[in-house]
Structure 1
Amino acid sequence: MCITLLSTAHPAYPFILLSNRDEFLNRPTAPAHWWDAPNEHVLGGRDLQRSARGTWLGITKQGKIANLTNFRDEGEEVARNKSRGGLVTAYLAPPPKSEWDDETFVKYLVDDLGIHNVGGFTLLFGELREPKDGSLPGLAAVSNRTSSATGVPRIATKLGETHGLSNSHFGDTTWPKVVHGEQLLKEAIDADSGREHNQEGFIGRLFNVLSVDSLPRPEEGENFQTFTRQLRNSILIPPVGGQGIISKPADKVAAADGTDTPGNGEVKVGDGIYGTQKQTVILVDTKGHVTFVERTLFDGAAQPTPPDQNSTRFDFDIEGWHR
């Protein structure tokens, strides 16, 4: 039950995004890195289980960002050859100077790619640019229920907004973790805005938001599928479920460019331990400087990653920020 929290309310950072990726911990996943050619302008992790090598969260040197959460539509037919993570790649991967505006992208998803049988999802995407008179381009919100390129809702179009999204449609306030996450992010921003700013301390407080565990513990003998409804109550999902299935860590099965995955067809996904696998904090300051920090909490063998080895940081300036 992943969660995304974003805000445009911090005076020093007109865009903040927090993300927890919740998954079966044995699912092979590449840590965040600059992708191999011809997509070397893209920064993000990658799912190594499926050949599409999709991602749940990515950002480009030109300021394009996309984040996907999925959910289950009961009774809906899903095409097994379609990857929801591939939708993020479809937005981020085109060459930096290609003419691909948001409406054209949505039209491509609906008319050409086909998204109504890809499984339940919400995709946030857009370009990050310098605020103009308190306004921003914002992010479009598309789902598998989107029927046309017109009328797609946009969020984070003004300074002062804070939003949350989990494994349901955008705007669903029945999920306690979303409501709680929005509140905690607002409080972290308010606290930081009222003191002398220290970026490292602020990043630590944001990871604290992502690490709030309020999950009721399963009762003895409770079926995991029944227990999954409880996952909507907690921002962080501690390891729950069966015994971990031993598989090769992602960094061992991936080639140097992070996309080759020999032997992963034998990894059984959808079984074993489930929980928050990765946490990400993205800050974009008023000059267009991006700070991207990812924490990997568990390796591909479902083993905890030592705290002194679980964090990766990237810093870069958005090309065209003042455009």
Structure 2
Amino acid sequence: MCIAIISTAHPEYALILINNRDEFLDRPTKIADWWDAPNSNVLAGRDLLRAEQGTWLGITKEGRVAVLTNFREEGEIKPEARSRGGLVTAFLTQPRDSDESTEDFVTSLVEGDGLKGIGGFSLICGKIGEPLAVISNRTPDVHGISWIVKQRDETIGLSNAVISDRSWVKVTEGEKLVGEMINEHETAKGSKDELLHSLFQILSHDTLPRFGTSKDWQSQVKELRKSIFIPAMGGETTKQASAEDLAAAKTNTQLSVEKSEVKADSNALKGAYGTQKQTVILVANDHRVTFVERTLSTQGHMKDSLHDIKSFEFVLNRRKVSVR
């Protein structure tokens, strides 16, 4: 039940990206950091449960940025399905001196075999200062590629569906809250720290009803599309559904790809499910980047240790960053 909201509406920032990663809270995940050589220009977390160790969100020093959400397809999912996180990795780990455009990258995926054998997903990718491409495993051809933030003053959200699906309350509410917050911050001439605080407040916006034991798990799952933040859920709700079922707010049980091909530690796909990681990326007009990641505990709350908040600041390589 992930959500990503991207905005170019703040006059002081070329791009604002906020993201909640919702997963089983015990799923082994490497916290955000600079990757090892030869990809030391990539800043992202990693999914340690899959052999590919792909990622769901990241940025490079050259200004490439990508974020991915998944969704449950109808029907049986083949156990040999490829990792979706590998798509984000492929975009971020292109050679630093590569002249391949975002359009070239997504076109090669859509026209070639890049999208075959992958479960349901939506991918936003591109370069800071340029329009961002949106593709999914349902993108039929190059004419089906969507382009967002093509100009300043745009705010758009994406959750576990195609980007044209406007039925998800959490997406439309998230866009509204981000837009209102940016206007308030600009009017008050607030600081960067105040902006970060407000964005994390939006990521923590919890409107999920507390049913207790009076509602069945199907009813609880259907409510997940409405809340930006997903508090830790356990019991029958997570026993009867895979992460993909929960992400898509689907109540029908099907074969889970992850259960077929993950490493031996199956306990990582059991127990509490909810918002596991919260990330805010700010790219100022002067190309200074602030990247902050918060990790939640297995109870769905912030841990006490400062080590569970990772912050990075760096300046983009201007030779590789486009100016809108």
Structure 1 residue 305 corresponds to structure 2 residue 290: no
Structure 1: runs of 5+ lacking an equivalent:
130-136, 246-262
Matches within 5 A, 1:1-323: 1-75=1-75, 77-129=77-129, 137-220=130-213, 222-224=215-217, 226-242=219-235, 265-298=264-297, 305-306=303-304, 308-319=306-317, 320=319, 321=321
Cα distance in 2, alignment partners of residues 172 and 14 from structure 1: 26
Structure 2: runs of 5+ lacking an equivalent:
240-261
Cα distance in 2, alignment partners of residues 238 and 50 from structure 1: 24
Q: What is the Cα-based RMSD across aligned positions, in Å?
A: 2.3
Cα distance in 2, alignment partners of residues 156 and 237 from structure 1: 27
What amino acid is aligned across from residue 296 of structure 2 in structure 1?
Answer: L
Structure 1 pair 198–268 and aligned structure 2 pair: CA distance change class (3 A): same
Query: Displacement, 1:269?
Result: 3.6
Residue by residue, what CA displacement relative to the aligned partner does 1:48-85 show, whole Å, maximum 9, x if unpaired? 00011111101000000000000001115445340011
Cα distance in 1, alignment partners of residues 265 and 322 from structure 2: 48
**Aligned-pair identity (%):** 46
Query: Displacement, 1:222?
Result: 4.6
Indicate conservation of the 8 Å contact 2:235/2:271, yes or no: yes
Q: Counterpart in 2 of 1:260?
A: none
Which one has a larger percent helix, Structure 1 or Structure 2? Answer: 2
Match of 1:154, SS state, is strand
Structure 1 pair 159–304 and aligned structure 2 pair: CA distance change class (3 A): closer
Match of 1:287, SS state, is coil
TM-score norm. by structure 1 comes to 0.86
Cα distance in 1, alignment partners of residues 177 and 78 from structure 2: 35
Indicate conservation of the 8 Å contact 1:122/1:169, yes or no: yes
Query: Displacement, 1:309?
Result: 3.5
Indicate conservation of the 8 Å contact 2:106/2:133, yes or no: no
Cα distance in 2, alignment partners of residues 23 and 303 from structure 1: 14
What amino acid is aligned across from residue 292 of structure 1 in structure 2?
Answer: F
Residue by residue, what CA displacement relative to the aligned partner does 1:216-272 show, whole Å, maximum 9, x if unpaired? 123416554552221111000000023999xxxxxxxxxxxxxxxxx9522434321
Indicate conservation of the 8 Å contact 1:77/1:117, yes or no: no
